[in-house]
Amino acid sequence: MTDYDALMAFERDTQALAQVAGRLGWDQETMMPRGAADQRSDEMAAMETILHARRTAPQVGEWLAGIDDSTLDAVGQAQLRHIRRSHARATKVPAALASKLARVTSVAQGKWAEARGADDFAAFAPVLEEVVSLKREEGAALAAGGDLYDAMLQDYEPGTTGAEIEAMFSAMRPVLSDLRAAVLQAEKPAALTGTYDEGAQMKLSRHLARTFGYDMQRGRVDKAVHPFSSGSGNDVRITTRTSPTDPFNCLYSTIHEVGHAAYEQNIDQAYLLTPLGQSGSMGVHESQSRIYENQIGRSRAFAGWLFGQMKDAFGDFGIADEDAFYACVNRVNNGYIRTEADEIQYNLHVMMRFDLERALMSGDLAVGDLEAAWNDRFEADFGYAVDKASNGVLQDVHWSVGLFGYFPTYSLGNVYAGCLHQALRTAVPDLDDHLAQGNTVPATDWLRDNVQVNGGLYDPRVTITMASGMEPSEAPLLEYLKAKFEGIYKL
């Protein structure tokens, strides 16, 4: 057996164990009894200890040193690129720190959920302070004298820096803010009223999942406090949530998570349980969920089809016709929740979180001051005050589980989706004819063939450049948003 073969066999087992750890996280969010929280934190810590030991194992370094990259094809070289990056990062983090982070974040996730339900940030602050302290310690180890936040970003968007994201956001913010202001001054389209059976919402959400190509033989749809997608390859699970007064929350959360899940299901099966069997970055991953949800799912053509599905599921629900429904699903409202925000305001929510978490990591913002800083920034950006913690600093799960550096990838995903959508429209000029019939196949097949099948074969920006024919830029997204919302609101 060659060094490369031995390394890949070892890596396959490591990837399999990581999938098991991920399943523990899925269970914690969906089915785990509340009384199991402490035991689950021990289980997660034990799994992380094993995984960290494998990722830093001396033989991994020996195998890597013994492989001549020039003897490998492009796939083999890409596998090594990922393994080298992972090994280099893992060896910088002490095993005890990795285990403690897994234990503390498992506990913190439960405390976040309790504090969110009670609208009590003070109850969550002590454990969040511990998470932030541990993440700063990890960041310092990874940065080796460099910028802590930049080091954290590499886990989610390799090759990107905080300064690059800040420059992109600075270009986007004034355009989005001006468009938001103009839209909010215009006449509003009709909104949904009444109540919607939550069982019927879940039935329709599963129908939508299949409509967007989600393979239910290799996945499932459950409910959770915060919708998410988990797993890869042949076991990819999603969650959604329901509200009796807002079926769009359920339906579009489902479409969004299916974008993530379809990506994982469509990666070349030859890459299963290898580093290439997952996306190259969270920004690329998010590009799939956002283009499924927005450019496809909220398009005029698809909205016309969904209008009929809504009537079949709920009867007459007070929206006059397909045009009114299209305006309704794209209605711009004042609101607190990022995941419920329209396409204009969504990125403004992300930009706020990016600035706050960057300040937390640099030490410029203390956890004790986070709620006040959030509320002040929100009022400055959106023009009204946060009414309660669950609508403010406690609305997202990310910080409780240590995902610092993750938030900006949501907006990077939107930027990437803008580039991909432009290319998709060129490649499939009759796309709207298909979407009007509820047929997403031409769109999802194009995304599968140009993005998803490659998994982590290419670096993030290379993936988007190859698929869209252009270097990633915010320009296509901003052009799309201006054309869409100026049309809906007759600006």
The pLDDT tens digits of the residues spanning 326-345 come to: 999 999 999 999 988 999 99
d(CA 305, CA 292): 15
Q: Are residues 188 and 249 part of one domain?
A: yes
**With bands split at pLDDT 50, 70 and 90, how would you rate the model's confidence at 19?**
very high
Does residue 154 belong to any structural domain of this protein? no
For 374-403, how does the pLDDT look when each residue is reduced to its tens digit (9 = 90+)? 999 999 999 999 999 999 999 999 999 999
For 108-136, how does the pLDDT look when each residue is reduced to its tens digit (9 = 90+)? 999 999 999 999 999 999 999 999 999 99
pLDDT beyond 90 at 425: yes
Does residue 156 belong to any structural domain of this protein? no
**With bands split at pLDDT 50, 70 and 90, how would you rate the model's confidence at 41?**
confident
330 closest CA partner among 197, 486, 467: 486
Mean pLDDT rounded to a whole number for the chain: 95
Contact 329, 484 (CB under 8 A): no
Does residue 454 belong to any structural domain of this protein? yes
464-471 contact pairs (CB < 8 A, 24+): 464/284, 464/287, 464/416, 464/419, 464/420, 467/419, 467/420, 467/423, 468/419, 468/420, 468/422, 468/423, 469/423, 470/419, 470/422, 470/423
Contact 276, 298 (CB under 8 A): no
For 244-267, how does the pLDDT look when each residue is reduced to its tens digit (9 = 90+)? 999 999 999 999 999 999 999 999
Note down the domain range covering 123.
Answer: 3-146
Q: Are residues 185 and 132 part of one domain?
A: no
pLDDT on residue 34: 86
pLDDT beyond 90 at 157: yes
Task: Give the whole-number percent of the chain exceeding pLDDT 90.
Answer: 92
pLDDT beyond 90 at 224: no
Q: Are residues 166 and 138 part of one domain?
A: no
pLDDT beyond 90 at 1: no
Catalytic residue ranges: 257
408 closest CA partner among 178, 180, 153, 200: 153
Quickly tell me which residue has 């020039």 as its tokens. Answer: 70
Q: Are residues 171 and 142 part of one domain?
A: no
d(CA 89, CA 141): 9
Task: Give the whole-number percent of the chain exceeding pLDDT 70.
Answer: 100
H helices then E strands: how many in the chain? 20, 3
**With bands split at pLDDT 50, 70 and 90, how would you rate the model's confidence at 168?**
very high
Q: Are residues 402 and 279 part of one domain?
A: yes
pLDDT beyond 90 at 29: no
- 59 forms beta bridges with none
Does residue 444 belong to any structural domain of this protein? yes
Does residue 220 belong to any structural domain of this protein? yes
Q: Are residues 179 and 116 part of one domain?
A: no
For 262-273, how does the pLDDT look when each residue is reduced to its tens digit (9 = 90+)? 999 999 999 999
Contact 448, 455 (CB under 8 A): no
Structural domain tally of the chain? 2
For 287-315, how does the pLDDT look when each residue is reduced to its tens digit (9 = 90+)? 999 999 999 999 999 999 999 999 999 99
Tokens of 377: 């920034």
Q: Are residues 170 and 118 part of one domain?
A: no
pLDDT on residue 462: 96
Does residue 403 belong to any structural domain of this protein? yes
Q: Are residues 55 and 204 part of one domain?
A: no
Domain boundary among 146, 171, 193: 146
pLDDT on residue 490: 95
CB atoms within 10 A of CB 434: 17
Domain boundary among 82, 112, 146: 146
Q: Are residues 239 and 376 part of one domain?
A: yes
Domain boundary among 146, 181, 196: 146
pLDDT on residue 330: 97
Contact 244, 261 (CB under 8 A): no
Does residue 152 belong to any structural domain of this protein? no
pLDDT beyond 90 at 44: no
Q: Are residues 222 and 141 part of one domain?
A: no
Which CATH number do you get for residue 382? 1.10.1370.30
Average pLDDT, integer, range 217-239? 92
d(CA 438, CA 208): 9
Q: Are residues 83 and 207 part of one domain?
A: no
Average pLDDT, integer, range 411-429? 98
- 230 forms beta bridges with 237
d(CA 306, CA 212): 12
Does residue 201 belong to any structural domain of this protein? yes
For 395-411, how does the pLDDT look when each residue is reduced to its tens digit (9 = 90+)? 999 999 999 999 999 99
Residue 64 one-letter amino acid: L
Q: Are residues 118 and 52 part of one domain?
A: yes
pLDDT on residue 393: 98
Average pLDDT, integer, range 189-203? 96
**With bands split at pLDDT 50, 70 and 90, how would you rate the model's confidence at 346?**
very high
**With bands split at pLDDT 50, 70 and 90, how would you rate the model's confidence at 77?**
very high
